Chains A and B, each alone.
Chain A
């Protein structure tokens, strides 16, 4: 249980175009999802918190108009990189928060990530 998928796993796009990345919780509902960015050999940097039915909360320094986040349902959040440029090339990871009955705690479940290459 508690599987998070991301689509696509790898995408190449041309500079100036937009690309959408989907994050789905497959067998549970997630009111909160996170979007992270990870550069090679670096840590995960939280970009934004995606809340179902409301606007995303962006971390300081993250451009809201460039990284559009939509959390339209309890199982789907999307990240759209608008007018992508080579410096946006990175590994993007989503995660979903869900209550785990077994542990009696909120758990974070990660997607497998999406590698974005902008040429």
Chain B
């Protein structure tokens, strides 16, 4: 069975600085997707960034980028120029479409605090 691990329960970053959130996963499949979701205090889940496993190039969305290391099964999120609005829970998630179920497996989350 697939698992997703986030080893940092909480992280802090100074406003305008850069922070990296870690995520590792375990799977025997070769074709899958990885995601980072943000959950602010409103608790509405927001997609931050997506990475297809078959793509070697790391995904980038404005200030958000990932470091995808397929062999090491690592998928970290880098937030550059951190803003107060980035403060939230961040969840790493795995999805395999092999079975056609599109089920997502979420990590335990990392709470990000942004210090002014």
Known: A42-B108, A43-B106. A113 touches B44 (CB 8 A): yes
**Cα-based distance from A32 to B101 in the complex (angstroms):** 8
Instruction: State which residues 73-119 of A face B: CB under 8 Å.
Output: 91, 93, 95, 97, 105-108, 110, 112-113
Provide the bound-state CA to CA distance between A42 and B44, in Å: 14
Task: Select B104's contact among A34, A38, A41, beta carbons within 8 Å.
Answer: A34
Q: Is the CB of B106 within 8 A of A91?
A: no
Please give the distance in Å from B73's CB to the nearest CB on chain A: 19
Number of interface residues of A (CB under 8 A): 21
Q: Take A91-B43, A112-B44 as given contacts and tell me if A44 and B91 are in contact as well, using a CB distance cutoff of 8 Å.
A: yes
Q: Please, how many angstroms separate the alpha-carbon atoms of A75 and B14 in the complex? A: 43
Contact A97 B102 (CB under 8 A): yes
Secondary structure at the B interface, as helix, strand, loop or mixed, is loop
In the complex, A34→B102 CA distance in Å? 10
Tell me whether A93 and B45 are in contact in the complex, defined as CB-CB below 8 angstroms, given that A34-B103, A106-B97 are known contacts. yes
22 A-B pairs with C-beta separation under 8 A = A32-B101, A32-B102, A42-B108, A42-B109, A43-B106, A43-B107, A43-B109, A44-B91, A44-B106, A46-B103, A46-B104, A46-B105, A49-B103, A93-B43, A95-B45, A105-B33, A105-B50, A106-B102, A107-B47, A110-B44, A112-B43, A113-B44
